[in-house]
Structure 1
Amino acid sequence: MEQANQTQTTVKEFFIVNFPGLDFQYYKLMGAIFFLIYMTTVVGNSLLVALFFIERRLQKPMYIIMLSLALSDIGFCTVALPKAIGRYWLDDGAIPFHVCFFQYFLIHYFGTLNSLILLAMSLDRYLAICFPLRYPTLMTNRTMGALTGFSWVSAAVSPGISVGMTARMPFCGPNRIIHCYCDSVSTTSLVCADTRQVFSVSVALAMFVLLVPLILILLSYISIIVAVLKIADAQGRYKAFSTCATQVCIISIYYLPRFGVYLSSLVSFVKISPDLRISLTLFYSLFPPLINPLIYCYRTKEIKDILYKWFCQRNVVSQTRIVTTVSK
């Protein structure tokens, strides 16, 4: 059967359509929007990565998990956006068969990885708020390093199974990817065979890697809220709630639209247009990486102090050079 499937595959490349309902006159604008999102995401997260390696005081558990999140966000945007930008700016939507499946794997890999990282982050906040005295011994750099390392390795299991099953199916004609990149739904829909088993396995794996972390994240934040309500200091309660509220907001953006998109592919009476499906997918995929550095990192006092110190030192050096030049 596998040999038959392989001989039936005649597609050598796919074509990335992006938004099928977008008029040609808006192609350059959409490409510019994608380019701006990509550059902002990469620059913002790369600055965080640089800060982590330069400043030794940031090398502790909380920033280790933020480093992993920043690297994951850079990876996802680098995999997803350049081809979409090329489609609109250069009218180049062609992507080779095996490159498409490699992109498919990486798209779902980074999606799974982000889910696991958000779980690790909620665990870190749970220990920090619910067990503040034991936190330094419970969550060390080694513990967080092992936790994030496990996330980076285990995130490959689910997309690996999904890609392995789909790539063995026959592709014998249709090759238009109605999306900005190759993913499970858009690629499986082009198979020239019964895809119920592949589709069921892919959706089951996706639900598992989303639902299990989400349930654990919700339980951790419920425990955090209960612990915060017991804090007598009003200022301490406000600070804890403020931190948790921003994180819960990002988690909601990441999970809720994703479930809506998966639901539309599972339930026959829930139908959304391709343009809306792509818009929702891009929203929950690109918006969190864009603002994660602001939400999780640049609001912290330590990073604010570091950036302020760098800014002041640069001003002092600039003023010194100006004075030296004038005196000469």
Structure 2
Amino acid sequence: MPPETRGSLPVMGYNVEDHECSTNSTEDCMFDLVNGSCLTGMGAVGFLMSTAAIICMHFNIIKLPGSKKIFLLNVAVNDALIGLVAVPRGLGIISQHFMGVSDDGTVSWYCYFFPFGAYFVWDSIMFTLLPLTVDRYIALVFPTRYRELMTPKVSKAMVILSWLPAAISHLLCDPIRYAVGAMELRYQASYNRCVFDVNPILPIMFLVVPLIAMALMYLIIGISIVRNKISVGRLLITTTAILLTGVIVVLPTVLMVTANVKLSYKVAKIFTVTLYHSNCIFNPIIYYCANPRIAPQIQEQATTRTRSMKRQLTRTLTRTVSGFNLVTYTTVDSENKNQRSSTSK
């Protein structure tokens, strides 16, 4: 049997009970099968939907102004990565073999290195929502300075900064700590994953701090709307809906981090694993609902690009053919050349 950590293990800053499936409980093993299958399917569908949303935004099928497009693309990339990470995570819940753990207890390199990328994606979810909130905050609270403050360079810098904290923590510091032996990474059979101890400060920094900052900005936005009698547009409604999905998926984890409660395995799986990945489906639906003409626009774009490609191909073939000097040559026997010339005369 694979190595297993008994008792409670700090996971994202809170305690989770061991899973009874390790004691051959049929009911709990069936829960793993259903939960893992749902998570895998949801991740695959969410990845495809988020990727489609990225393509639609990139080719202006979903039409967005200025920095709003950059910030929504940033969120959509995180959604796609969330869906992508959910697939191996769900497969690992179904069976330990999908995490690279064999029957004799040996653990492959894949299981050990998966948490670094996974935690990087998970802990970026709230930070990628910050630029979107800042954009709406400046647009509604400082409308006269919006174009001056939200330049393309500033927008791109904000996008990079939204990924930087999780990247430094989980793609740089954690691998270095693991390489020098300052951090232990092990397979936890009762929770179906490879895991390392997480400092409780990190979940607070990656989840609670951005959430508080966004709540304060939205409070000021609300006061500004009421005081200045600003009409609420579609952009603000779309942004608010996306932010609410982010809050919904992380709120159980935030509450568990701050309260440090003891969780059952099933509750932890549903609220801190399955729900945590669900915004990869929620957000693309919001993008499409906010653009009701999305289907005609896709058809229009496809038709326009097909015609453009046909015209370009026709021009290329015309230039290629016109470049040849098409002259028909008739072979003439050298002995009859003079005779044919005199006959023609």
Q: Distance in 2 between matches of 1:71 and 1:291?
A: 14
Output one character per residue of 1:250-305: Cα deviation in whole Å (capped at 9) or x when no partner: 232133211233246xx4xx32212211211124421222211223x22334xx44
Which of 194, 206, 228 is residue 203 of structure 2 equivalent to? 206
* 1:179 aligned to which of 173, 180, 191: 191
Match of 2:42 among 11, 34, 37: 37
Distance 1:158 1:28, change over 3 A: closer
Name the structure where helix makes up a greater proportion of residues. Answer: 1
**Aligned position for 1:51:** 56
Change in 2 beyond 3 A, CA 1:291/1:108: same
Equivalent position SS for 1:114: coil
Note the alpha carbon deviations across 1:101-157, whole angstroms, 9 max, x for none. 422122221122222111111101111222233322321222111111122233212
**Displacement, 1:13?**
11
Alpha-carbon distance change, 276 to 12 in structure 1, aligned in 2, over 3 angstroms: closer
For 2:192 and 2:241, locate their aligned partners in 1 and report how far apart those are by CA, in whole Å: 29
When residues 215 and 204 of structure 1 are mapped into structure 2, their CA distance, relative to the original with a 3 A threshold, is same
SS at the partner of 1:299?
Answer: helix
Task: Tell me which residue corresponds to 1:259.
Answer: 254
Partner SS for 2:263: coil
User: Does 1:218 pair with 2:224?
Assistant: no
**CA distance in structure 2 between the partners assigned to 1:316 and 1:112 by the alignment:** 40
2:110 is matched with 99
Q: Match for 1:300: what amino acid?
A: A
**Any conservation in 2 of the 1:228–1:241 contact (CA below 8 Å)?**
no
Q: Which residue of 2 aligns with 1:141?
A: 152
Which of the numbers 281, 285, 288 marks the counterpart of 1:298? 288
| Length, aligned pairs only | 280
Matches within 5 A, 1:1-328: 20=21, 22-25=27-30, 29-55=34-60, 58=64, 60-85=66-91, 88=94, 92-95=98-101, 96=107, 98-159=109-170, 160-162=172-174, 164-165=176-177, 168=181, 175-179=187-191, 181-183=193-195, 187-188=196-197, 202-232=199-229, 236-237=231-232, 242-243=237-238, 245-263=240-258, 267=260, 270-295=261-286, 297-301=287-291, 304-311=292-299
Aligned to 1:55, the other structure's residue is in SS state coil
Structure 2 segments unaligned to the other structure (5+ residues): 6-17, 102-106, 306-345
1:309 Cα deviation after fit: 2.2
- Pick closer, same or farther for the CA change 1:177–1:118 going to 2, 3 Å: farther
Provide closer, same or farther for how the CA distance between residues 92 and 211 of structure 1 changes in structure 2, counting only shifts above 3 A: closer
Structure showing greater radius of gyration is 2
**Matched-pair contact (CA < 8 Å) for 2:100–2:111:** no
Report sequence identity in percent: 21
Give the deviation of 1:12 after TM superposition. Answer: 9.2
What TM-score do the two structures reach when normalised by structure 2? 0.67
* Structure 1 residue 63 displacement after superposition: 1.6
Superposition RMSD in Å = 3.7
* 2:296 aligned partner, one-letter code: Y
Unaligned runs of 5+ in 1: 1-10, 189-198, 318-328
Query: Is the contact between residue 3 and residue 189 of structure 2 (CA under 8 Å) also seen in structure 1?
Result: no
Match of 2:332 in 1: none
Q: Is contact 1:31–1:84 with CA below 8 Å preserved after alignment?
A: yes
Measured in 1, the distance between the counterparts of 2:82 and 2:273 equals: 11
What is the TM-score with the length of structure 1 in the denominator? 0.70
> Given that residues 211 and 247 in structure 2 are in contact (C-alpha distance below 8 angstroms), is that contact kept between their aligned partners in structure 1?
no
